[in-house]
């Protein structure tokens, strides 16, 4: 039985009250709550526009489609990411160019991006891993110099900042996720944020079967609308966000201190200079001697009621992306795939709980080391 899951969504009667309001209104699909949620997210991050959709995957897909990305185009993205980042490129018939990440930040390596540019490169998708902002200055400079689009995969990073600017608001468009493992959790759902009016109008059509504001089907698309039920939850979750982030940052500090004293050979991903992290996930890197023990450690932690998992995926090791590994060497991504462990982190976690989690991890590692 799992006593300590990776995350527990921060929901209570406040969300239930808003859901009841939606039911009482009789309007369950996209409606006034979606408009409110969009407005409040845009105000929070400081963009002109926000568009609520069914998931962050949908947000990435629609963003690329609205920017005209398709067959024959290349899109550069980090190899170390959840498959959704690459799936949307493949779905549009474009070619994902997988590049390595930096060992200190786990985010896309600008030098690798530079080396991977070709005449067919149309966009780059920097990912903000685990709530930690990527190094956006270098990415934006490359994009401007080569006239390519920047679509930020900020799925885990609503509330994170890079040099005072919110992750997701630095590139041409930004995409957020409201999956239950995120700090604003609506069950499923996503949001696109941007400042370009023409692109905004196009995205509105693509979200709704290609139908424009006059009711004319100007192009073809599918249904990517969020429901008012989800948006009602999102409005409440957004009001809790700053407090949620503050709590997680305090818990992360407790983790930092315990790991330093009890597991000094482990390396936690920490906030870097000029960034502010939400710590959407708390991840630690195993020492080299334990890289091949990642799965064993995860299974042993589960036996003690503690849910852990890998950090995320090295795409070139997954079947749909294996043919794209030929473009670049990806040693850091592969190393991180084999050596990261994600530990439980949620608002109701106590200091004693973290002591138990790290103590259990230390005991498991000690047994492995003694063998």
Bridge pairing between strands 275-276 and 161-162: antiparallel
Cα(171)–Cα(155) distance, integer angstroms = 14
Q: What does the domain layout of the chain look like in residue ranges?
A: 13-236, 242-370
Residue 274, Ramachandran bin (φ over 0: left; ψ between -120 and 50: alpha; else beta): left
Q: Which residues touch 9 (CB under 8 Å, ≥6 apart)?
A: 180, 185, 346
CATH 3.30.565.10 fits 13-236, yes or no: no
Tell me the mean pLDDT in the region 119-145.
98
How confident is the model at residue 258, as a pLDDT? Answer: 98
State which fold the 242-370 domain adopts: 3.90.1150
Nearest CA to 254 among 184, 181, 356? 356
Q: Which residues touch 312 (CB under 8 Å, ≥6 apart)?
A: 80, 81, 82, 129, 337, 340
pTM of the model: 0.96
Bridge pairing between strands 190-194 and 49-53: antiparallel
Residues composing the chain: 371
Are domains 13-236 and 242-370 of this chain identical in fold? no
Tell me the per-residue pLDDT of 16-56, one tens digit each, with 9 for 90 and over. Answer: 999 999 999 988 999 999 999 999 999 999 999 999 999 99
Percent of the chain beyond pLDDT 90?
94
Confidence band for 371, pLDDT divided at 50, 70 and 90: low
How confident is the model at residue 213, as a pLDDT? Answer: 87
């Amino acid at each position: 039985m799992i006593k300590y899951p990776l995350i527990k969504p921060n929901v209570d009667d406040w969300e239930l009250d808003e859901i009841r309001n939606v039911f009482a209104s009789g309007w369950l699909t996209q409606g006034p709550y979606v408009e409110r949620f969009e407005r409040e997210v845009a105000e929070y991050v400081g963009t002109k526009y926000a568009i609520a959709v069914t998931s962050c995957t949908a947000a990435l897909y629609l963003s690329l489609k609205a920017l005209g990305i398709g067959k024959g185009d290349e899109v550069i993205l980090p190899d170390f990411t959840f498959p959704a980042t690459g799936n949307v490129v493949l779905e549009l018939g474009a070619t994902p160019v997988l590049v390595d990440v930096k060992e200190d930040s786990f985010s896309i390596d600008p030098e690798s991006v530079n080396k991977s540019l070709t005449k067919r490169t149309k966009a780059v998708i920097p990912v903000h891993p685990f709530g930690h902002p990527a190094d956006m200055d270098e990415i934006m400079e490359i994009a401007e110099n080569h006239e390519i689009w920047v679509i930020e995969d900020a799925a885990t990073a609503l509330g994170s900042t890079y040099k005072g600017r919110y992750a997701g608001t630095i590139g041409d468009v930004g995409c957020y996720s409201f999956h239950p493992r995120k700090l604003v959790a609506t069950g499923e759902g996503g949001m696109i944020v941007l400042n370009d009016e023409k692109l905004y109008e196009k995205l509105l059509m693509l979200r709704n079967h290609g139908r424009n504001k006059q009711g004319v089907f100007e192009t073809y698309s599918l249904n990517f609308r969020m429901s008012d039920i989800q948006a009602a939850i999102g409005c409440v979750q957004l009001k809790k966000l700053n407090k949620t982030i503050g709590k997680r940052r305090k818990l992360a500090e407790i983790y930092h201190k315990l790991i330093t004293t009890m597991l000094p050979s482990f390396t936690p991903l920490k906030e870097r200079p000029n960034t502010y992290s939400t710590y959407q996930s708390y991840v630690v890197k195993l020492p080299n001697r334990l890289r091949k023990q990642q799965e064993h450690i995860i299974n042993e932690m589960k036996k003690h009621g503690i849910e852990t998992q890998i950090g995320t995926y090295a795409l070139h090791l997954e079947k749909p992306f294996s043919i794209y590994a030929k473009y670049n060497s990806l040693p850091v991504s592969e190393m991180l795939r084999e050596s990261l462990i994600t530990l439980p982190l949620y608002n109701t976690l106590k200091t004693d709980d973290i002591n138990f989690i790290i103590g259990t991890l230390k005991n498991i590692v000690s047994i492995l080391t003694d063998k």
